Amino acid sequence: MTPFLKRSASCIFSVMFATTSLLAQAGARNSQGTRATPPFGDPPKLVVGIVVDQMRADYLSRFWEKYSDDGFRRLVGEGFLCRNHHFNYAPTSTGPGHASVYTGTTPAVHGILGNDWFDVASGQSVYCTGDDTVSSVGTTSVDGKNSPHRLLVSTITDQLRLHYQQRSKVIAVALKDRGAVLPGGHMANAAYWYEGSKGHWISSSYYMEVLPDWVQRFNTSGAAAAYRKVWEPLRALDTYVESGPDNSPYEGIIDGEQAPVFPHKLPELWEANGGYGLLRITPFGNSLTTDFALEALKSEDLGGDDVPDFLAISYSSTDYVGHFYGVDSKEVEDTYLRLDQDLARLLKQLDKTVGTGNYTVFLTADHGALPVAGYLADQKLPAGNLEMSGMYTRLTEFIQYTYGDIKLIRNISNNQIFLDHDLLRNLDLDLDQVQRTLAAELMTYDVIEAVYTASQMMQAEYSEGVPAILQKGFNPKRSGDLLLALPRGYVNYPPTGSTHGSPYPYDTHVPLLFFGKGIRHGNLLRRTTIPEIAPTLAALLGIALPDGTTGEPIPEVLD
């Protein structure tokens, strides 16, 4: 057992022991002979989990003055804010992020290493939720062929279903398939995602054979078509002083536009940019997600009885807009101001449908993002866009010279290098020694900040810094032989738009808000981490921890 897995087992045992002790105490009689109050109150009727894709923590403070009183400011003012919340692993990307939020652990345990990764067994790249054994539901395309089959552990949503003998409902919604499938877990009643060719919400045969009537009605209602309109700023553009200029060389340009500036005339751009798929890179994708989530709330009667339900919502358009325009663009600012309106709309309907004080909300992100590297470089900060092809060429030449066979490398992806173990054995080469030799060579390259071998990840026990973060993202059966870290501020990415994935604070620091039933009012400055969300929810609900949990509950959050 590796040191990290030993720590995981120890953590799970300690939390289970503490929980058992509390329950034993609750069952004991007090000195007056009456049964003591249990250490947990009535659970909420509904938990709403919100993941905002690519939301940096400082978006709360940067746009604070422009947020309404009913969205982000209500969540902060009436809820609990963890101000120093981080991902404690890398890579920081959408698939691992959603999996980690809902499993209470990291890729080292849950196995979702990236959005895609190289599968050692098959020798092919695999998609985190892709599943050819299931069929699309609601579309004739392959976009529905998804399931959680690559997720190695249970989720908090699975544990809710188990605790209540399948009587709890779990519905997951996102534009991105992985943003719905992974939060829904293995036992979700349904997960729905967006198919851009027709603007419909779809699913897979993993969950159902046909779409429910309410989903079919929604798809034919014209809800998506209503957002085929001009994207204008919500407020006067000259008031968006929290962002850079509207016309910036660091932004992408939609096909058919001459410059990346408002207004964006979607009807004129529609056909050349994938039709309904264009909504993804606008705030209207988030609004459509809210529309659909509210319809799910009503049609599935979520929170309608005393058995807790779970509605998982992931807002994906924030990520698409960030990637396309960059975190300092006016488009990103406008997207967050409009998301604030959508959150206000969601909370208002929850108050009305489930009842104020009857539901609990948490809001976090699946990763942050780096400002456009070229912009940072122009501001004289150490940053830039890396050209990695030269590194690969140089490494290949080194391998040919040293070992006489360039086929030793099977794959390079996700900042990992996979070696051909069979070929190494045939050449009578020692795996550990080859890993160390290549690591030493890579450390001489300017584009590499640090290199760690798989042997180091399995044998050492790192407690801080980049190696500790990389170790929590390392799965012995799925990860590569060499893990690479690029220099801070540098990315292997096009010159426009923002990206993410690193172990550095701009990618790890994200918001965490709790709100509603069972939640204290306040804020916390000490460091908290993503794997602590699921066990905190488990404590709130009084249910078992997800079976891979490595995080601890955040006691300050719970009332």
Render the burial of 222-248: b for 16+ CB within 10 Å, e for the rest. ebbeebbeebebbeebeebebbbebeb
Task: Tell me the three state secondary structure of residue 139.
Answer: coil
The span from the CA of 213 to the CA of 222, in Å, is 15
157 among known catalytic residues: no
- Residue tagged 């976009």 (tokens): 143
Q: Which of 71, 54, 53 is nearest to 337 (CA)?
A: 71
Token output for 12: 């799970």
Render the burial of 253-266: b for 16+ CB within 10 Å, e for the rest. ebeeeeebbbebeb
Is residue 81 within 8 Å of 521, Cβ to Cβ?
A: no
- Listed in sequence order, the DSSP H helices in 236-352 are 266-269, 284-299, 317-325, 330-350
Is residue 317 within 8 Å of 285, Cβ to Cβ?
A: yes
Q: HEC profile for 308-330?
A: CEEEEEEECHHHHHHHHHCCCCH
Strands 200-204 and 230-231: unpaired
Q: Which of 2, 20, 92, 94 is catalytic?
A: 94
The span from the CA of 226 to the CA of 240, in Å, is 26
Q: Which amino acid is at 329?
A: S
Residues in CB range of 510: below 8 A, 6 or more apart: 55, 56, 57, 85, 86, 87, 364, 365, 366, 367, 368, 530
| End-to-end Cα distance, the chain | 38
Strands 190-195 and 170-174: parallel
Strands 359-365 and 46-52: parallel
CB atoms within 10 A of CB 495: 14
Q: Which amino acid is at 323?
A: H
274 burial type by CB count under 10 A (0-12 exposed, 13-18 middle, 19+ buried): middle
The span from the CA of 17 to the CA of 464, in Å, is 27
Rounded (10°) angle between helices 317-325 and 330-350: 170
Q: Which amino acid is at 234?
A: L
The span from the CA of 389 to the CA of 410, in Å, is 16
The span from the CA of 109 to the CA of 538, in Å, is 18
CB atoms within 10 A of CB 356: 11
Q: Would you name the residues annotated as active-site residues? A: 94
